[in-house]
Amino acid sequence: MNEEGSGTTPAETARAEAKAFFRDGEPLLEVCEDWGDSYRILEEDGKVLIQGGKTGILYGVWQRILDCLCKRRSSAERRSPRCALRMLQCWDNMDGTIERGYSGPSLWFEKGTVSFDPARLRMLGRLLSSVGINVLCVNNVNVREPAQGLIEEKLPELRSLADLFRPYGIRLMVSVDFSQPIRAGLADADPLNEETARWWQRTTDRVYEAIPDLAGYLVKADSEHRPGPFTYGRSHAEGANMLARALRPHGGQLVWRAFVYNCMQDWRDDQTDRPAAAYQTYAPLDGQFDDNVVLQVKHGPFDFQVREPVSPLLFGMPQTRLGMEVQLAQEYTGQQIDLYYMAPMWEEVCRDLGEKRPTILAAVSNLGRDACLTGDPLAMANLFAFGRFAWYNEARPKESAEEWARLTYGFTPAEEEKLVSALLGSRRVYEKYTSPLGLCWMVNPGVHYGPSPDGYEYQSWGTYHRADRNAVGIDRTKTGTGYLLQYPPALQERYGTLERCPEEYLLFFHRVAYDKVLRDGRTLIQRIYDDHFEGCAEAEKMAAELETLPFPGEEKPLILDRLSRQISNAREWRDVINTFFHRLSGADDGMGRTIYP
């Protein structure tokens, strides 16, 4: 693709991109006013016609370019995205830092102001548009000063970002602080206070005067000490609807994160169960949210762990518009150091949800100012795969990995197969040397990288594995915390017994003795030992395979550095976790491998 490809509208950008890429044999473009994001590519007698809506025409050009680069014929069927909102949500702070960011400073904030390289952001706009992303939320959901000013005194700066991304069919969204009226001098932020509602309406009207196509607001409330309607004895439906009504005249959406739990749990309390919190809070409110409210639910009930089941809330609110949130930033899955391709995780979520898959998808960004934008060049595969996932609403792990590898590197078929194989196996490798059989939160507190099996065990975050000398895991069935009862009957049956529960979720749903013989004939403790030794060995083998590939000169040192760090991390996980369980259980490794006393 070419830097020439920019215009002032998506249709103009489409024409510029087509002219720059094809040069000879440029396709004819036809804008169909009522097609929206849809497009169709027709070929006849060596001529190509791309029809599409005002934004769809650009997606059609991107698809034609992708088909040409992948050396395949374009489909003639009309294509439409299955997800209307395909969002990238950035946790950027205005001082330039990024919460859970592993790719350098913010691309658009610095020293309390909006500051960016226009050429680089145009390149980013083209990149995001080319995989179908159409909404970009630029600031952290944990809104801190001076980010509140983005919808007040810093609104012209926010508008400069909106103007830059608009030609690529990307609309901005902004995270807002629920208590912001207090900053403006109001006595409170009670959503049923008419003065509060009027303040939000006036403020929102001014925002839309500056940015008429703003996608809306994103809110995190009453979670991890964020302000919210609970402060005033109000429900989240009452809080969300007040903001949604300010957005409604402008066609804006209110995206309300369903990340709410009691983060001051006493570790001695074995009945309160953090994964149950979102369902307990929101399911009773089904049908009470306005129709321009999107309740954004994390794909799992915990917090982007290595392995957790699908969130029961995604089944539990049939009368509410739901969006699903995933995390590209790899906070608990390697932090863009260890290779971890996420599309297989999304495929499992889609399988469990079936027809309940939300038609709104959001991902926490993995972008920053590093040279390759994602810290590790191979982490870009996750961003590419998310864009395709959000468009099709199905993960397509192998297809996305193959497309990304082909478009990025142009390897020989054998080299491409080696890279794709590493991507597809990377999640299982990481899981084996880190968290066994659905256990969560065995990481160093705060930084969330590296092993610390008891790091969160006695803290107030509700993140426990309850390992003792006899057993490990949480009983979440009806005889335990009862969390399992939040699921539909088919999943209750699937997860509810040791005999049926998939082993990858075994310790998430059940408490199991170390000497319990699993379905493959190994005891639980032997399975834990084997996974960690095997995972480390497989990480070493994967690194050796990738080191043979001819990555471009500027990328190879970055990739090799991260592969080296991954091996060190895998060895540390192997030894710490195996020693932890050996000290508790007293059971030796049946293979006689080294476990440190």
Helices and strands per DSSP (H, E), number in the chain? 16, 15
CA distance 41 to 49: 6
Residue 262 forms part of a structural domain? yes
Rounded alpha-carbon distances, angstroms, from residue 452 to 28, 335, 360, 448, 590: 59, 16, 35, 9, 24
Domain end (from 395, 411, 427): 395
Rounded alpha-carbon distances, angstroms, from residue 176 to 44, 217, 259, 303, 324: 50, 6, 15, 22, 19
Q: State yes or no: is 303 an active-site residue.
A: yes
Tell me: do 65 and 133 sit in the same domain. Answer: no
Residue 46 forms part of a structural domain? yes
Residue 414 forms part of a structural domain? no
Q: Which of 303, 338, 348, 352 is catalytic?
A: 303
Tell me: do 96 and 55 sit in the same domain. Answer: no
If we measure between CA atoms, which residue out of 263, 189, 198 comes closest to residue 219? 189
Tell me: do 47 and 90 sit in the same domain. Answer: no
Tell me: do 213 and 358 sit in the same domain. Answer: yes
Residue 359 forms part of a structural domain? yes
Position 6 scores a pLDDT of: 54
Domain end (from 367, 395, 423): 395
3-state helix, strand, coil in the chain (%, to 5): 40, 10, 45
Tell me: do 566 and 463 sit in the same domain. Answer: yes
Total domains, the chain:
3
- DSSP track, 168-211: GT-EEEEE--TTHHHHTT-S---TT-HHHHHHHHHHHHHHHHH-
Tell me: do 208 and 319 sit in the same domain. Answer: yes
Q: Which of 177, 331, 402, 403 is catalytic?
A: 331
Q: Which domain holds residue 224?
A: 85-395
Residue 480 forms part of a structural domain? no
Give residues with Cβ within 8 angstroms of 82, minimum separation 6.
359, 391, 392, 393
Position 5 scores a pLDDT of: 45
Tell me: do 298 and 166 sit in the same domain. Answer: yes
Domain end (from 69, 99, 115): 69
Tell me: do 327 and 466 sit in the same domain. Answer: no
Decide if 293 contacts 303 (C-beta within 8 A). Answer: no
Tell me: do 253 and 337 sit in the same domain. Answer: yes
Position 45 scores a pLDDT of: 86
Give the CATH number for residue 519.
Answer: 3.90.1330.10
Position 7 scores a pLDDT of: 64
Residue 214 forms part of a structural domain? yes
Residue 493 forms part of a structural domain? no
pTM summary value: 0.96
Burial of 68 (0-12, 13-18, 19+ CB in 10 A): middle
Decide if 295 contacts 321 (C-beta within 8 A). Answer: yes
Position 2 scores a pLDDT of: 37
Return the sign of the alpha-carbon dihedral for residues 363, 366, 368, 374. Answer: negative
If we measure between CA atoms, which residue out of 261, 295, 300, 303 comes closest to residue 281? 261
Decide if 421 contacts 401 (C-beta within 8 A). Answer: no
pLDDT in tens, the chain (597 residues): 334 445 689 999 999 999 999 988 899 999 999 999 999 999 988 899 999 999 999 999 999 999 999 999 999 999 999 999 999 999 999 999 999 999 999 999 999 999 999 999 999 999 999 999 999 999 999 999 999 999 999 999 999 999 999 999 999 999 999 999 999 999 999 999 999 999 999 999 999 999 999 999 999 999 998 999 999 999 999 999 999 999 999 999 999 999 987 778 999 999 999 999 999 999 999 999 999 999 999 999 999 999 999 999 999 999 999 999 999 999 999 999 999 999 999 999 999 999 999 999 999 999 999 999 999 999 999 999 999 999 999 999 999 999 999 999 999 999 999 999 999 999 999 999 999 899 999 999 999 999 999 999 999 999 999 999 999 999 999 999 999 999 999 999 999 999 999 999 999 999 999 999 999 999 999 999 999 999 999 999 999 999 999 999 999 999 999 999 999 999 999 999 999 999 999 999 999 999 999
If we measure between CA atoms, which residue out of 166, 134, 123 comes closest to residue 9? 166
CA distance 272 to 286: 23
Tell me: do 354 and 470 sit in the same domain. Answer: no
Decide if 112 contacts 413 (C-beta within 8 A). Answer: no
Tell me: do 56 and 94 sit in the same domain. Answer: no
Decide if 335 contacts 327 (C-beta within 8 A). Answer: no
Q: State yes or no: is 331 an active-site residue.
A: yes
Give residues with Cβ within 8 angstroms of 318, minimum separation 6.
286
CA distance 509 to 302: 13
Q: Is 336 left (phi over 0), alpha (psi -120 to 50) or beta?
A: left
Tell me: do 161 and 297 sit in the same domain. Answer: yes
Q: Which of 195, 205, 213, 224 is catalytic?
A: 224
Q: State yes or no: is 4 an active-site residue.
A: no
Position 23 scores a pLDDT of: 85
Residue 482, CA atoms < 13 Å, CB-side half-sphere: 5
Residue 501 forms part of a structural domain? no
